[in-house]
Amino acid sequence: MTDEPLLRVTALSKYYGSRIGCEDISFDLWPGEVLAVVGESGSGKTTLLNCLATRLLPTSGTASYRMRDNQWRDLYRMSEAERRFLMRTDWGFVHQNPADGLRMTVSAGANVGERLMAIGDRHYGNIRSTAVDWLGRVEIDEERIDDEPRAFSGGMRQRLQIARNLVTGPRLVFMDEPTGGLDVSVQARLLDLLRGLVTDLGLAAIVVTHDLAVARLLSQRMMVMKDGHVVESGLTDRVLDDPRAPYTQLLVSSILQV
Amino acid sequence: MTTAATEIATYNFAYLDEQTKRMIRRAILKGIAIPGYQVPFASREMPMPYGWGTGGVQVTAAIIGPDDVLKVIDQGADDTTNAVSIRAFFQKVADVAVTTETAKATIIQTRHRIPEHPLTAGQTLVYQVPIPEPLRFLEPRETETRKMHALEEYGLMHVKLYEDIARHGRIATTYAYPVKVEGRYVMDPSPTPKFDNPKMHMSPALQLFGAGREKRIYAVPPFTRVVSLDFEDHPFEIQTFDQPCALCGAEQVYLDEVILDDKGGHMFVCSDTDHCEKRQACGHRGHLAPEALEPAQ
């Protein structure tokens, strides 16, 4: 690990008219670190994620990112071309609904290969063998490489989306409820896979979730949001085992015990 | 023109009013200045349905002058409905000379072919384009495809070719085969067979593309690089035919299959009728050619 963070967020705010999306958020993200953002629906966690991933422009505040050449760049002052290039090479974005992140009408292999072709890979054989390799890493049978994601189950689609994002070796991945809409056993398998990949590749990730178990399993650090503000942040185990803010205590105590 | 002047009311020369023609010419000039870039223009209603070449007709109407000689082809043929009616249209509204001979024409309006006879400097080829956007079926949002063109993000075009190879073992796209113009814009060469793609490269003729329904004009100026997209290990190839034209015996030309009876009989003949007739007049014969040519009518 280097002694510099990867992403530095300062006083980020986003207003929808007079309503608050998220307000005055500051944090640093370090290389290889997984940060979970938890909170109830409407707490502003997805707004925050979309601002960080430059899918939304914040009303005020800055976010700077350390590029591969160690240059710090302000995300909101980059040209659109640079931003889009960053998004398809050094970043990944895993949507809650895989249909938003996949091309549903082209084969699984092409879905994985699209980013490679976007950065100029023009050798079919190489693209295909990389796709085969990545399908294997996300536990999709190689035989399914020419099937469209429409023919895949929800869990497979989500795994395919992850492979598609990781194929260019990104350093930072944004995940919006990566396990939402999956049943418990599939969720467990996906989390296991994600945890392995994140550790193997040394990925930094920002994971938005309302599921505290996901945060516990994946993240080292977490932020708890309510009404657009961060009410508590710290090491995941500390926050979950010893919640300090009243809202976090409520959140932790409302986990269903079976 | 002298007779037209005596009539009370008549069409303006080449049907469109002068303001419209200026507007289209401006779009054409912009298109020539940025090879392969789709220039929006205010496409007009034409006295023919969309899909019949309203874009090509408007481009032709904007550039044609009284001294021009017009040739119109439809799938290479001068004698099919679309070609005949557009030719008749310009004879009526512009009173220009028409021809079926490629070498004699100054403007050639085409639907889906480039003539076999090499084009020369000073000639203009006008394509009728149904869908100008090469990325349309991969990315339906026009706002997004425009951005992709602007930022030169063309990886998606290769996704289509990848899909072809994954499904068919080779690039199975045979028409509307995407090309990169002058190393910058990816362009749909209209539904011409990929056989004709190499003819667009460094062509001495000016090539103009008009899409009436989609309201776009684009252009390839003379001597411009036009490269068909491909993979390193699956290079671009044109169609080949294992037999020559059944009427004129020509090889290395694009052939159409013609059904002869309901017992499976068929023959392959030149799609370019002018080229085929010229060759037959010079005495070339294919295996199904009549012994002697019928006298010209």
Q: Tens digit of pLDDT per residue, chain B (297 long)? A: 555 556 567 789 999 999 999 999 999 999 999 999 999 999 999 999 998 999 999 999 999 999 999 999 999 999 999 999 999 999 999 999 999 999 999 999 999 999 999 999 999 999 999 999 999 988 899 999 999 999 999 999 999 999 999 999 999 999 999 999 999 999 999 899 999 999 999 999 999 999 999 999 999 999 999 999 999 999 999 999 999 999 999 999 999 999 999 999 999 999 999 999 999 999 999 888 876 555 554
Closest CA to A83 of B151, B157, B141, B135: B151
Residue B87 lies in a domain: yes
Average pLDDT across chain A, whole number: 92
pLDDT at position A185: 86
Residue B217 lies in a domain: yes
pLDDT at position B293: 52
- Whole-angstrom distance, CA of residue A31 vs CA of residue A6: 5
B282 is a catalytic site residue? no
| Closest B-chain CA to A146 | B166
Residues B46 and B131 in one domain: yes
Chain A residues 109-138 with a CB less than 8 Å from chain B: 109-110, 113-115, 117-120, 122-125, 127-128
Q: Please state which of the ranges A1-5, A27-31, A102-106, A175-179 shows the lowest mean pLDDT.
A: A1-5
pLDDT at position A184: 85
Chosen domain end from B226, B261, B281? B226
Residues B54 and B191 in one domain: yes
Closest CA to B95 of B104, B103, B87: B87
Residues B126 and B253 in one domain: no
DSSP state letter for B191: S
For A219, the token pair is 């993240």
> Which H or E element spans position B82?
helix B81-94
DSSP bridge pairs for B128: B210
Distance from CA of A155 to the nearest CA of B (A): 23
> Which H or E element spans position A51?
helix A45-52
Q: Is B60 helix (H, G, I), strand (E, B) or coil?
A: helix
Instruction: Calculate the alpha carbon distances from B230 to A102, A120, B95, B154 in Å.
Output: 23, 12, 44, 12
Residues B30 and B154 in one domain: yes
**Position A258 pLDDT exceeds 70:** no
Our CA angle for A116, B157, A121, nearest 5°, is 25
Residues B190 and B271 in one domain: no
Chosen domain end from B201, B226, B251? B226
Residue B234 lies in a domain: no
Catalytic residue among B36, B76, B210, B286: B36
Residues B44 and B119 in one domain: yes
Query: Across the interface, do B151 and A125 touch by the CB < 8 Å criterion?
Result: no
Closest CA to A181 of A248, A253, A107, A94: A94
pLDDT at position B294: 55
Pair A32, A204: CB distance under 8 Å: yes
**Position A156 pLDDT exceeds 70:** yes
Q: Judging by DSSP bridges, how do beta strands A34-39 and A221-226 pair with one another?
A: parallel
Distance from CA of A37 to the nearest CA of B (A): 30
pLDDT at position B291: 67
> What does pTM read for this prediction?
0.87
Residues B107 and B180 in one domain: yes
Query: Across the interface, do A123 and B233 touch by the CB < 8 Å criterion?
Result: yes
Residue B165 lies in a domain: yes
**Position A188 pLDDT exceeds 60:** yes
Query: Across the interface, do B162 and A110 touch by the CB < 8 Å criterion?
Result: yes
- Number of C-beta neighbours around residue B237 at 10 A: 12
Residues B207 and B249 in one domain: no
Burial string for A121-137 (b: 16+ CB within 10 Å, else e) reads: bbebeebbebbeebbeb
What is the interface pTM, i.e. ipTM, of the complex?
0.86
pLDDT at position B14: 93
- Whole-angstrom distance, CA of residue A137 vs CA of residue A131: 10
- Whole-angstrom distance, CA of residue A94 vs CA of residue A209: 12
CATH code of B43's domain: 3.40.50.11310
Inter-chain CB pairs, A–B, below 8 Å: 55
Residue B134 lies in a domain: yes
Residues B60 and B103 in one domain: yes
Query: Across the interface, do A146 and B155 touch by the CB < 8 Å criterion?
Result: no
DSSP bridge pairs for A229: A226
Q: Report CA torsion sign: A50, A52, A57, A61.
A: positive
Q: Is B276 helix (H, G, I), strand (E, B) or coil?
A: helix
Sort out which chain A residues have CB atoms less than 8 A from B155's CB and list them: 114-115, 117-120
Instruction: Tell me which residue range forms the domain holding B245.
Output: 240-292
Residues B65 and B156 in one domain: yes
Q: How many domains does chain B have?
A: 2
Residues B178 and B283 in one domain: no
Chosen domain end from B226, B259, B282? B226
Instruction: Please give the residue that has the higher pLDDT: either B138 or A235.
Output: A235
Picking from B156, B230, B232, the nearest residue to A114 by CB comes out as: B156
In this predicted model, what pLDDT tens digit does every residue of A67-98 receive, in sequence order?
999 999 999 999 999 999 999 999 999 999 99
Residue B96 lies in a domain: yes
Residues B214 and B88 in one domain: yes
Residue B23 lies in a domain: yes
Residue B144 lies in a domain: yes
Pair B279, B248: CB distance under 8 Å: yes
Which pairs with CB-CB distance under 8 Å and at least 24 residues apart come from B85-90? B85/B48, B85/B52, B86/B48, B86/B52, B86/B53, B86/B56, B86/B57, B89/B15, B89/B47, B89/B48, B89/B57, B90/B14, B90/B60, B90/B61, B90/B64
